[in-house]
Every structure is written in C-alpha cells, then in structure tokens.
Amino acid sequence: MTLRRVATTLGGALLAAAVLAACGSGSNTPASPTTTGDAGGKVAVVASTDVYGSVVRAVGGDRVDVTSIIDDPAKDPHEYETTPADALAVGKAAIVVVNGAHYDDFATKLVDSAETEPQTIDVSALSGLEAQVPAGEEFNEHVWYSLPTMKKLADTLAADLGKVDAAGAATYTANAAAFGTKIDGLTAKLDAIKTTHDGTAVAITEPVPLYMVEAAGLKNVTPEAFSEAVEEGNDPPAAVLQETLAVFGGGVAKVLVSNAQTESPATQQVEQAAGAAGVPVVKVTETLPAGVTDYVSWQSQQIDALTTALG
C-alpha cells in the first residue's frame, strides 16, 4: 500500500474540538486521576500509536486503561483524521503520550482542544535527540527506534503514573526497571552487530529505522533525496532513483532495510534491484505488526532479522 504524508485535515480537528466542547467540564482542571466508566477505576492513558500504547501497558500493567489511537498497520499517523471517540478518550485521559515533532499532529491537536488538560508526554522532546542534529540537517522524528529514548519514556511514565496513582507508584517503578532491562538486552544485540559489522553499508527506503541502523554501527548509503521523497509520499527524481539503484548493482549496500508500511513504485524498484543483486531485504514497520502487542518482542524480531541478513 502507499501511505501518503499529509497533515490531519482541519475538519477532523474542528470535529474533535466540537465534541470536546460538548463533553468537557467547562473548566481547565486536569483530568481525573482514575476515571470511572470505561476506565473501570484504572488510570486512563491515551497513546497516539500502539507502539507507545505497548510501552504504557508494560509500565502500567493492569492498573492502566490504554487507548491507542493508531492501532492498525493500515493507518498512517501523517494522514489520520480524528474521530469523536478519539476526542472523548483524550478528554477522559489523565496522561497522553505523543511522538511529537509533527509526526502525529492529530494527537497534539486533540490535546490542545481538550478542556481537561491531561498530562502530556512528548517523546521527541523527551529524547533530547533534536539538539544533537547538526546544523542544516533534518531531525529524524521516528524516535521509538531509539532504544535509550524508550528507556526514558518508561521511567517518565512510571513517575507520572505514580503521581496520578500513588498506591501504584512502586509497581510502576518496578515495571519500568524491568522494561529497561529488556531494552538493555536489545541494545546488546545491536552492540553485537556493531562488533562484527561496524561500518557495513546498508540502504533504506526511508528514515524510519535509522536510529537502529546507526546504533548497530551500520552506514546508510542511500541518497538522502530518495529516502526523503519516499517519506513525504513523493516520487524521487529519475536521477535520484538511478543513483539509489546503483548501490545494489555496484555491490555497495549489503542489506536493504525497507519500511513495509510505505510502498510505492520507487520502493518496489529498489527492492527488485536488491533482490536481483542478491542483497537481503529486511522489512520493518512504523507501528506494531498485526498480532504483535509487545514493543520488545517486535524490536527483537527486527534486530534478529537484520543480524541474519548481515550474517
């Protein structure tokens, strides 16, 4: 499928605002710590995508009620149009987790429209990665592929949930520590790749997996104009496409890491060129694949696939 990168429509934002205006308390008081009704006395948390929702569940366990707005691989955060149900969920939430950096603007608009002012965790801001971007280069907003960032998120969730639900504070802290240990295991896998394959050239279809690729010590040789065009939903110029195809014909790239959720004629040509050259293709995704609910298992499978391809 081809997922196009466009902003949430004004109509969707206005619909969300209208619903919240009708359902809000009429004040700017924070959301109730443990909402009743649908949340069943649990802490209500909304995540912009199921990736973040899975981390909330890992930390919150059965003390939280999680709503992930993007919960289907067929939904694209860049073009998602909000629904009244989304607005109601945010209006009831004590905590909302967003990626930020214009990746999921629909969620930011829902928070801005909510009269209840839920506690918001902006993961891109939390990461601190944007400050490390050299002048003139663009920030890679796909921060859930940064393992240190996900550890920070777990710790932040534990602290924020503990403030809302003091009785569960120790549980949240312990769960976040356990999650962090599992992340350390993933980091060890990437370190092992780096030890064996440091500097190995790989290609990508778009920047989604770059934090993983860089942590593994691999070198991205894809023309930047190609991956940027794919990310924006545009067709790369013919010369750029040919330059990209050449990294396989010349035996430069040893692996192609392709975003399975963003396909186009250009990415299909690149995958075909990789196949023709005997270059393994590793498929990654932006959100959890169908049937997968756990962040660590998902990332572990992708890192293992990369390890196998390089080996």
- Given this model, what pLDDT does residue 39 score? 59
Distance (Å, whole) CA 193 – CA 182: 17
Hey, where are the domains in the chain? 10-145, 198-310
Cα 109 from Cα 81, distance rounded (Å): 11
Confirm whether 10-145 and 198-310 share one CATH topology: yes
Residues 6+ apart with CB under 8 A from 242: none
- d(C-alpha 310, C-alpha 181), whole Å: 26
Q: Which CATH number applies to 10-145?
A: 3.40.50.1980
pLDDT of 184 over the 80 cut: yes
Class of 198-310 in CATH: alpha beta
What are the tens digits of pLDDT across the range 260-288? 998 899 999 999 999 999 999 999 999 99
How many other CB atoms are found less than 10 A from the CB of residue 10? 9
C-alpha 64/C-alpha 57 separation (Å) is 7
Closest CA to 203 of 133, 277, 265, 129: 277
Per-residue pLDDT tens over the stretch 213-236: 999 999 999 999 999 999 999 999
Q: Is 19 helix (H, G, I), strand (E, B) or coil?
A: helix
Reported as a single tens digit per residue, the pLDDT across 122-163 is 999 999 999 999 998 999 999 999 999 999 999 999 999 999
Query: For residue 5, what are the CA distances in angstroms to 229, 231, 234?
Result: 10, 7, 9
